[in-house]
Structure 1
Amino acid sequence: MSEVMGQQKNNLELNDNFEDHDSVSDSQVVDYLFAHPDFFVKHAHLFEELDIPHAHKGSVSLVELQSEQLRKKVRLLNYKLNQLISIARQNEQIYRVYADLNLRLLATQSMEEMQLVLEEVMQERLQLESVVIKPFIGAYAFPEIQRRLFVEKRFRRDKFFFGRLSEHERKLLFPQQEANSVALLLLGELGELGMLAVSSKDPSHFNPDMDTLLITQLQQFLSILLPKLMKY
């Protein structure tokens, strides 16, 4: 008799729970699943019975939906990985170009030869628009008033500048070439030897956030070579 009464009591409790199921909110279900992440592990049979509405495929199982989401994540990760590999290859190519440029500069015997090497590498291999060295001393020295204009405006904090110039500045350095973005480097320990100016047609090619390792090495090479070639 007691067993029968107990069974009836359990049935009543179950019925009560089912009758109250409408009072359970979506957020409560979500909270419960978050609090019990192993719920579907303990109740794996639900995977075969649950149908998840899908905007394009009608109803799909939870397992299929999870598999599709996983495939999307894998595709995204593969895309990002391929991007990183591509960037790494490009950086390696640029590094090799700069390494070759520095070796060729070491073999130059005159300012004219140095200018030709810089133009050949910068314009032909790096696809930049123009490159020029503006010495601060000698027969072809940059005029003093123009030198002060750049030094005081563009080199207040560092010995290099990456970005855009005013129209007046562009005409002083690149009168015949496009210069939508530029790299300016002071040469010499104190910036006393001159300035290297490189221009690009791409407005975003040279920017303040770019990496300066390779071009700073070029700056150091030129600072060592210039006194010998210009007979300082």
Structure 2
Amino acid sequence: MMHQAEHSRDEAFDQERQVVDYLIAHPDFLARHPEVLSIIEVPHGIRGAVSLIEYQVRVLRRQLAIERNRLVHLIARARRNEALAIRLHGLFLQLMTVDDPEHLCRLLRETLLREFHAEALAFKLFSLATLESRPHDPLVNAFADFIDRRNALCGPLSPERALALFGDGGAGIHSAAIIPIQADGQSGIIAIGSSDATRFSPEMGTDFLNRLGEVISRKLRTVRLGDCAPH
């Protein structure tokens, strides 16, 4: 008996699947056979009698609302990025005239923290000779996966990574943007940290951060950043 019941369920499922496939292949079926609408039920969780067309309209409206919200979000992000690019244009102009390491450090720290609404900034630069001669150095290894990247990386930070990046100030940092830096004889990163875990997310575009890293990397060819510890 149990075997027969299972066989009946499987056969019913196959028949339903055939019906579904047929309706998908012939979307005008109900238009050609409107009498079917008078006897079928369309369960959709909405109280009261609702026609299939009304149900479809409601589904499309929900989908449209989702797409509108997504579009609004994308437009808002684009406007924020455009405003940020305009403001940081001033940083690029100032970088052209800086020739003092201390001034360079202060300019980068103040501008990046302000414009990215961040609470922490870290510069980790290593000479290429250090990277080659000390491959097992704990400090070098802690940043090896960041240093080897060609593009910026955004996302949440584990407490261990936050402390490694920002030292004692990393206790309250939950997300960061990591920008690779490649200068003559040096390789490393600039890390911008936020206490907001959603401030920097993997979904963020990194094109602008990559360009920022390129500009800073080129500046470091003429002005060494030196010791740029937090103040």
- Flag structure 1 segments of 5+ consecutive residues without an equivalent: 1-24, 138-143
Change (3 A) 1:95 1:29: same
Distance 1:207 1:63 in 2: 40
Match of 2:111 among 91, 103, 121: 121
Alignment deviations for residues 68-121 of structure 1 (CA, whole Å, 9 cap, x no partner): 223222222222222222222233233334433222222223122222221222
Partner of 1:82: 72
Q: Report SS of the residue matched to 2:222.
A: helix
Aligned to 2:194: 200
Partner of 2:212: 218
Partner SS for 2:27:
coil
Quote the offset at 1:29 in angstroms. 5.5
Give the equivalent residue in structure 2 for 1:94. Answer: 84
Deviation readout 1:5-43 (Å, 9 max, x if unpaired) = xxxxxxxxxxxxxxxxxxxx7667656544543233234
Letter in 2 for 1:198: I
SS at match of 1:85: helix
In 2, distance between residues paired with 1:32 and 1:227? 67
The 5-angstrom pairing of residues 43-58 of structure 1 reads: 43-44=33-34, 46=35, 49=38, 52=41, 55-58=45-48
TM score, norm. by length of structure 1: 0.62
1:196 aligned counterpart, secondary structure = strand
Partner of 1:108: 98
Consecutive unaligned residues of structure 2, counting only runs of 5 or more, are 1-14, 128-132, 227-231
Does the Cα contact within 8 Å between 2:105 and 2:225 map onto a contact in 1?
Answer: no
Structure 1 residues 195 and 83: alpha-carbon distance in aligned structure 2, compared to 1, 3 A threshold: closer
Is 2:186 the partner of 1:191?
A: yes
**CA RMSD, aligned part only?**
4.1
Query: Which is bigger in relative contact order (C-alpha 8 A, separation at least 6)?
Result: 2
Match of 2:144 in 1: 155
Taking the aligned partners of 1:160 and 1:31, their CA distance within structure 2 comes to: 45
Q: TM-score, structure 2 length as denominator?
A: 0.62
Structure number with greater Rg is 1
Mapped pair 1:131 → 2:121: yes
Residues in 2 aligned to 1:105 and 1:74: alpha-carbon distance in whole angstroms: 46
